[in-house]
Chains A and B, each alone.
Chain A
Amino acid sequence: MTTQAKTLSNEEQNTMGFREGLVASVPIAIGFLPIAITFGVIAKAAELTLTQALAMSLFVFAGASQFVGVNLIVLGVPFAEIVLTTFFLNFRHFLMSSFLATKFLPMSKTMLAVVGFGITDETFSMASIKDGKLSGQFMLGLNFLAYSAWASGTALGVLLATGIPASVQASMGIALYAMFIGLLVPNMKKSFKIAIVAISAGIANTVLSQFLSIGWSIIGATLIGAIVGTLLSDSGHSSII
């Protein structure tokens, strides 16, 4: 087999489509459901209608800022302030989107506009860890299931108006973190540099979150981790560590 043919076949293997996106999204959906249900319950308690709560989940589609948003509505905070808080909280996706820009296969502007909407901490984590370039179809599948879980969970929460039992809630609260751990640990095992990058970002976030709001804290910690990683590669042979 010639080198060229080999590269080609690897590329074909790595190009994942809609189906693979859906499959990759299953752990995200499991993690999103209980959180979305909780959001629905809180929205109901805040006297939002089903349509209003659903509109937030369908259009904003950003977990933390929706909770904060509803909380601020209840407190009677001016809308301008809610929007500003949302902006600060979600600005971290800028970093994630910048990375993904380098990982996407060529795709149409419409596709970019659509898949961009679905970038969350969770879909980003899942997509960014995958080997090779990502197709628009894969991203659509990934976003679709996560989005569906988020929207249906919200509706369920409003309609039930009671949370899931405390024991289930407690155990399911770990789901997304277990997913993050499941994505990270095999890579840490593989590369000492990756372990250092992740641990320094984690420590940085633990410290920074004492002083900064969570959005800025994650941005600062991510940059610190990435800079540490870059310094490590400059001092050694990047291909080895």
Chain B
Amino acid sequence: MDNYYLLIAAMVFVTYLPRALPLFFLREIKLSPVTQQLLTNIPYAVLGALILPGVFYSTGNITYSLVGAAAAITLAYFQLNLLIVVLGSILSIFIWQIWF
């Protein structure tokens, strides 16, 4: 563990560069329409990939995960405040655990 802080420094380096470099370089470059189209889709693609399949394993119990996901989808469908979606989803699993 002697070099622990050296390890941290190296981890910071390789984590920080991909985060920060595009911010500096991409604003200098004029992007082609196709690249711009690709970029506009990225947030939704990222969200899709973050949700699937991770959501199924999120609680360590597939039933709980499905209950929580169903609650979140329902609340989000009715466009309720994001905080209500999150808290409602947590609460749905909590209640499910107590009842079943």
Contact = CB atoms under 8 A, between A and B. Distances in A.
Interface string B59-100: 111001100110111011101001101111111011001000
Interface of A: 26-27, 30-31, 48, 52, 55-56, 59-62, 65, 69, 73, 79, 82-84, 86-87, 90-102, 104, 109, 112-113, 115-117, 119, 121, 124-125, 128-129, 167-189, 194, 197-206, 209, 217-218, 221-230, 233-234, 238
Contacts of A238: 37
B24 A26 contact: no
Contacts of A62: 15
Contacts of A83: 7, 10-11, 14
Contacts of B7: 69, 73, 79, 82-83
Interface residues of B, number: 73
A35 to B, nearest CB: 10
Given A55-B5, A104-B23, A203-B52, A170 B64 contact: yes
A209 B53 contact: yes
Contacts of A229: 37-38, 40-41, 44-45
Interface in B14-56: 14-16, 18-27, 31, 34, 36-55
